[in-house]
């Protein structure tokens, strides 16, 4: 006698396959809204905070008045402080932060490594060489524009030199490019040391201050100097988001899918050089923004470059504006060097990132 066969238990309904992707697709929009809200709050707070405090309501009223949307004009002193001191510094912080954040996202996409940043290929150090040379040698052929111009040109020349030296047989290997960047960084560091040795005491003091990074000398003319480069770079970068997604699969699969890998790397490295050299030329060396911000955005919203690139620009602007506000208020009336503050925050994050990468990969091999 055979045992009765138990009817099969009906299978549980499978979850909708697009439930998780739908939640994931909503994350970038929520993060964008959060970043924009953070900027809208932080800008008037930063504009009203300082040695001469201005109420946030008065700041908003003055901004609306100048935009022709109502509001009211402030008294003469407050108006001068707000529009000639605070706002140029805020706008410059937004442009520099957005440029460094976007450049970091592009670098990490080009190298396929979340540990890459604009300084990897020597653009920051190369720009520093140009600025230090202008200070040590007393160059003044362009007036007050001499130092930014020298830094900008030296940064671009450094990138082109690294790329030319790393290129062989019509192609450029990522590992070779990184090694060339390390070598150029070491050589540029030696040149900076030489110029410091040749400079007088006033020049050494100016070089030290510039290398530490600061926005204390911000003016509307510096904003206008950075604006064209930042606008061009920030406008071009999102157009390469899809090709960067394909490049993340590897060089060979990307070529099979129609991506001109070599041309893509050339264009994006030039965009990175444009953004970074322009930022460094007016602010000095500010590290870790290009490393930390893109990785945080990637952790929150995923690796897709369609959002990662503009999200890193927004995040970089927010982070640098917040860091600049902290730099000029934490030890008031003195001011912390901005590059020192970002390094103090970024270095522990970098150590954590190294340990996390090693733990996930089970080693570095």
For residue range 13-69, list pLDDT tens digits in order: 444 444 444 445 678 889 989 999 999 999 999 999 988 899 999 999 999 988 888
Whether the CB-CB separation of 128 and 258 falls below 8 Å is answered with no
- Position 133 in a domain: yes
Structural domain includes residue 65: no
- Does the residue 164 lie in any domain? yes
**Parent domain of 312:** 84-360
Q: What pLDDT was estimated at residue 1?
A: 46
pLDDT at site 282:
85
Q: What are phi and psi of 172, to 5 degrees?
A: -130, 120
Examine residue 365 and state whether it is found in any structural domain, yes or no: no
Question: Is residue 184 domain-resident?
Answer: yes
Band of the pLDDT at 175, cuts 50, 70, 90? confident
Does residue 45 form part of some domain?
no
Is the Cβ–Cβ distance between 279 and 222 less than 8 Å?
Answer: no
How many Cα atoms are found within 13 Å in the side-chain-facing hemisphere of 239? 9
Give the ranges where the chain is alpha helix by DSSP (H).
19-48, 56-66, 76-81, 87-111, 123-136, 146-166, 174-198, 201-212, 220-236, 241-247, 251-256, 261-283, 289-301, 305-329, 338-361
- pLDDT tens per residue across span 329-360: 988 788 888 888 888 888 887 788 777 767 76
Domain count, the chain: 1
Would residue 27 count as lying in a domain?
no
pTM above threshold 0.75: yes
Supply the CATH number for residue 182's domain.
Answer: 1.10.3470.10
Q: Is residue 5 part of a domain?
A: no
């Amino acid at each position: 006698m055979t045992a009765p066969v138990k009817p099969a238990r009906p299978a549980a309904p499978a979850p909708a396959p697009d439930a998780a992707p739908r939640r994931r697709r909503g994350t970038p929009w929520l993060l964008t809204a959060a970043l924009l809200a953070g900027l809208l709050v932080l800008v008037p707070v930063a504009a009203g905070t300082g040695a001469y405090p201005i109420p946030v309501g008065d700041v908003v009223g003055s901004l609306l008045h100048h935009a022709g949307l109502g509001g009211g004009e402030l008294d003469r002193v407050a108006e001068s402080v707000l529009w000639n001191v605070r706002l140029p510094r805020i706008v410059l912080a937004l442009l520099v932060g957005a440029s460094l954040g976007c450049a970091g996202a592009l670098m990490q996409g080009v190298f396929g490594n979340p540990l890459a940043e604009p300084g990897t290929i020597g653009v920051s150090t190369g720009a520093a060489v140009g600025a230090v040379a202008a200070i040590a040698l007393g160059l003044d052929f362009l007036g007050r524009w001499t130092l930014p111009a020298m830094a900008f040109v030296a940064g671009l020349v450094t990138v082109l030199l690294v790329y030319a030296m790393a290129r062989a047989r019509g192609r450029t290997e990522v590992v070779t490019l990184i090694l060339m960047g390390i070598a150029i960084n070491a050589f540029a560091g030696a040149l900076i040391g030489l110029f410091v040795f040749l400079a007088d005491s006033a020049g050494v003091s100016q070089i030290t201050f510039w290398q530490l990074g600061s926005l204390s000398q911000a003016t509307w003319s510096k904003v206008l100097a950075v604006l064209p480069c930042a606008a061009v770079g920030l406008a071009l970068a999102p157009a390469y988001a899809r090709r960067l997604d394909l490049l993340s699969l590897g060089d060979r699969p990307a070529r099979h899918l129609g991506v001109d890998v070599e041309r893509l790397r050339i264009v994006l490295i030039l965009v990175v050089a444009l953004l970074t050299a322009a930022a460094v030329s007016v602010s000095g060396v500010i590290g870790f923004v290009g490393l930390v911000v893109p990785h945080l955005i990637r952790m929150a919203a995923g690796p897709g470059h369609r959002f990662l690139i503009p999200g890193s620009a927004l995040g970089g602007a927010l982070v640098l504006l917040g860091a600049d506000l902290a730099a000029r208020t934490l030890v008031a009336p003195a001011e912390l060097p901005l590059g020192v503050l970002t390094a103090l925050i970024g270095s522990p994050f970098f150590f954590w990132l190294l340990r996390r990468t090693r733990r996930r990969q089970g080693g570095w091999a």
